[in-house]
C-alpha cells in the first residue's frame, strides 16, 4: 500500500514538473492576446487607491465589476512597494497549488481505485486551458479563482460543509458575474421534486445577499472610476450574429471550439458509457451540478461567435472540473487499468497539453508546417 501511494505521488510530481518545465511564461510587457482582460486587471491594481484610468467602455465596465481581487493586489503592491505583476504571480501560483490539492482530494475520495484516480486527475491537470493558461497569464487570476470556487462548491456538497459552501460562493461572486448562474442552479434544484439535504432557502437567500452586496460595492467603484457604458448588447450576441453576420462555417467552428478543451474528457465519458460503467442516479449533487454545467456552457454560447469568439473555450472550461467530478461520482464497476494502457493514456494527455501558445514545445506548429510542405 505504501509503495502504491509513493508511486502515485511520483507520477503526480512528474506530471506537474512536465507542466512547469514546458510552459510558456509571459510578463507584463508581453501579455498573450488570449488574455486581454489582463490589461484591465493590471490597470485596476496599478491605479490603486484611485479608480480605473481607462476609457469609458463596456469592457471597462465588465472588468470594473470584478475589481475586488485586482484592487487587493494593488493594495498589497503598494504596501510592499513591489510591481503589481509580481503580486499577481504570487497570488496565481498559490491559487494553483490550492486548486491542485483540493481537486486531487476530491478525485481520490470519489475514485480510490489505483490508476483511475491518477487518470482523472491528469485529465484535469493537463487540460491546456486551466493550469497552463494560468501559468502563462497570471494576471487572469479571476478565472482561476472562479475555477477554485466550483471545486470548493463540489467539496462542500461532498462533505456537507456549510462554511466551504459560503467560501465558494464568495470567491465565485467576487471573481466573475457568471456566479449568478450558481444561484440560478441552486434555485432550480430546490424547486425540483426530489429530496434536498444540503440546498435550502437559507443558502439561496445568503447567496443572493452576497451577490447584491458585491454588485453595490462594484457600482460604487465604477462610479468612482467614471465608467458608465453598460454591456447589455453582449448578453444575446448569438441573436445579433444570426441577424447580421450569419455564416454556417463560422458558426460550426464556434460550436466545436470547446472540444479543444473537453476532447479527452468527452472521449472517456463516451467509452465509459459504451462499456456501461456510468450509472446515473437522481440525487442532489448530480442534479445541481448538471444544471450548473448546462448554464455555464450556455453563457458563452448565447454570447455568440462575434462576442465570445475563441473565448468560448476558456469560458466553457469553467465547468470542466465539475464534469470530471460528476463522472467520478457516477462511475461504477471499474476493472484494473493495465500499466500499458495507463502509459498510453498519460502520453496522449501529455501531448494534448502542449498548447501552441501556452507551452514552449511547438509540436503542433511543426505538424502544421509539415502538412504545408
Q: What is the pLDDT of residue 333?
A: 81
Query: What whole-number distance in Å separates Cα of residue 179 and Cα of residue 119?
Result: 29
Q: Model confidence over 159-181: pLDDT tens digits?
A: 999 999 999 999 999 999 999 99
> Is residue 290 in some structural domain?
yes
Inter-CA distances, 181 with 178, 292, 325, Å: 6, 7, 19
Cβ-based neighbour number of residue 275 at 10 Å: 11
Give percent above pLDDT 90 in the chain.
65
Contact (CB, 8 A) for 119 and 108: no
Q: Report if residue 314 sits inside a domain.
A: yes
Q: Is the pLDDT of residue 4 over 60?
A: no
> What mean pLDDT is predicted for residues 288-310?
89
Q: What is the share, in percent, of the chain residues with pLDDT greater than 70?
A: 93
**Cβ–Cβ < 8 Å for 332, 279:** yes
Average pLDDT over residues 146-154: 97
- Mean pLDDT (whole number) for 309-321: 90
Closest CA to 36 of 55, 63, 54: 63
Q: Is residue 110 part of a domain?
A: yes
Residue 243, pLDDT score: 74
362: confidence class by pLDDT, cuts 50, 70, 90? confident
| Domain extent at residue 139 | 32-372
Give the DSSP letter of residue 73.
Answer: H
User: Residue 199's pLDDT is what?
Assistant: 92
| Residue 369 binned pLDDT confidence (cut-offs 50, 70, 90) | very low
pLDDT of residue 30 exceeding 80: yes
Torsion angle, CA of 321/323/325/329, rounded to 10 degrees? Answer: 180
Check residue 246 and report its DSSP letter. Answer: -
* Residue 27 covered by a domain: no
More confident residue, 108 or 236: 108
Residues 57-109 have pLDDT tens digits of: 988 999 999 999 999 999 999 999 999 999 999 999 999 999 999 999 999 99
In a domain, 21, yes or no: no
Structure confidence at residue 366 as a pLDDT band (50, 70, 90): low
pLDDT at 5: 47
Q: Which three cell numbers stand for residue 195?
A: 429530496
Reduced to 3 states, what is the DSSP secondary structure of residue 359? strand
Contact 131, 141 (CB under 8 A): no
In a domain, 315, yes or no: yes
**155 belongs to a structural domain:** yes
In a domain? residue 129: yes
Residue 15 cell numbers, joined: 506530471
**What is the Cα–Cα distance from 281 to 277, expressed in whole angstroms?**
13
As for how many domains the chain has, the answer is 1
Q: The pTM is what? A: 0.92
Amino acid at each position: 500500500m505504501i509503495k502504491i501511494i509513493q508511486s502515485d505521488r511520483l507520477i503526480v510530481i512528474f506530471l506537474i514538473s512536465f507542466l512547469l518545465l514546458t510552459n510558456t511564461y509571459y510578463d507584463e510587457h508581453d501579455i498573450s492576446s488570449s488574455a486581454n482582460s489582463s490589461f484591465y486587471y493590471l490597470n485596476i491594481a496599478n491605479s490603486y487607491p484611485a479608480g480605473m484610468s481607462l476609457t469609458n467602455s463596456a469592457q471597462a465596465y465588465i472588468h470594473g465589476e470584478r475589481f475586488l481581487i485586482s484592487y487587493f493586489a494593488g493594495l498589497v503592491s503598494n504596501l510592499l512597494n513591489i510591481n503589481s505583476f509580481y503580486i499577481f504571480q504570487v497570488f496565481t501560483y498559490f491559487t494553483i497549488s490550492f486548486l491542485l490539492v483540493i481537486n486531487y482530494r476530491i478525485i481520490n475520495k470519489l475514485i480510490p481505485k489505483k490508476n483511475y484516480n491518477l487518470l482523472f486527475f491528469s485529465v484535469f491537470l493537463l487540460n491546456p486551458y486551466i493550469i497552463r493558461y494560468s501559468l502563462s497569464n497570471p494576471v487572469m487570476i479571476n478565472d482561476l479563482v472562479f475555477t477554485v470556487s466550483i471545486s470548493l462548491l463540489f467539496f462542500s456538497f461532498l462533505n456537507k460543509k456549510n462554511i466551504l459552501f459560503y467560501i465558494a460562493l464568495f470567491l465565485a461572486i467576487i471573481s466573475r458575474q457568471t456566479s449568478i448562474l450558481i444561484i440560478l442552479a441552486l434555485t432550480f434544484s430546490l424547486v425540483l421534486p426530489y429530496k434536498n439535504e444540503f440546498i435550502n432557502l437559507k443558502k439561496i437567500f445568503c447567496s443572493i445577499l452576497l451577490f447584491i452586496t458585491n454588485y453595490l460595492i462594484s457600482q460604487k467603484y465604477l462610479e468612482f472610476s467614471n465608467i458608465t457604458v453598460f454591456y447589455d448588447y453582449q448578453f444575446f450576441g448569438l441573436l445579433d450574429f444570426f441577424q447580421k453576420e450569419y455564416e454556417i462555417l463560422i458558426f460550426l467552428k464556434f460550436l466545436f471550439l470547446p472540444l479543444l478543451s473537453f476532447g479527452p474528457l468527452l472521449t472517456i465519458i463516451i467509452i465509459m458509457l459504451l462499456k456501461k460503467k456510468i450509472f446515473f442516479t437522481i440525487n442532489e449533487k448530480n442534479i445541481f451540478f448538471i444544471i450548473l454545467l448546462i448554464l455555464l456552457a450556455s453563457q458563452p454560447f448565447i454570447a455568440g461567435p462575434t462576442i465570445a469568439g475563441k473565448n468560448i473555450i476558456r469560458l466553457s472550461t469553467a465547468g470542466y472540473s465539475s464534469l470530471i467530478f460528476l463522472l467520478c461520482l457516477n462511475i461504477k464497476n471499474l476493472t484494473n487499468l493495465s500499466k500499458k494502457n495507463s502509459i498510453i493514456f498519460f502520453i496522449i494527455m501529455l501531448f494534448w497539453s502542449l498548447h501552441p501558445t501556452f507551452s514552449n514545445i511547438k509540436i503542433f506548429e511543426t505538424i502544421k508546417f509539415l502538412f504545408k510542405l
